[in-house]
Amino acid sequence: HLFLLSLIDKGMTGKAADAALGAANITVNKNAVPNDPQSPFVTSGIRIGTPAVTTRGFGETECRDLANWIADVLDDHENPTVIETVRHKVLDVCARFPVYGTGE
């Protein structure tokens, strides 16, 4: 499953969100939204997919945590301390839920 998140009301571009979340080790894709005022190279939205979390076996708690971390980064995307804090949380949860076939 995939969903599209419009960032127009936040005044943020999909390109900026993609970069900030990527720096926090959260992979999304910048994506155009309906009637997007931005160019296709910048966009006003991001596309978020669920396959990685389901493949890793995340439960409801981990998914809720991840959603909160995404919100933390989007709310303060120019703050390197927030991005670094979230990055460490992401690394921790990914270590606890490795990709199938790569664990010990």
pLDDT of residue 100: 74
Q: Mind listing the pLDDT tens digit for each residue in 49-72?
A: 999 899 999 999 999 999 999 999
Name the residue among 40, 39, 30, 33 with its Cα closest to residue 9: 33
Residue 104 within a domain: no
Total count of residues recorded for the chain: 104
Residue 59 within a domain: yes
Domain tally, the chain = 1
pTM, entire model: 0.92
Q: What percent of the chain has pLDDT over 90?
A: 89
Task: Give me the mean pLDDT over the 19-43 stretch.
Answer: 98
Q: To the nearest 10°, the Cα dihedral for 53, 80, 82, 31?
A: -40
Is the per-residue pLDDT at 35 higher than 80? yes
Beta strands in 1-104 (DSSP E): 2-6, 29-31, 45-49
The token pair at 5 is 């998140």
Residue 103 within a domain: no
| Contact of 18 with 82, CB cutoff 8 Å | no
Which CATH number covers residue 69? 3.90.1150.10
What is the domain extent for residue 60?
2-96
pLDDT of residue 43: 98
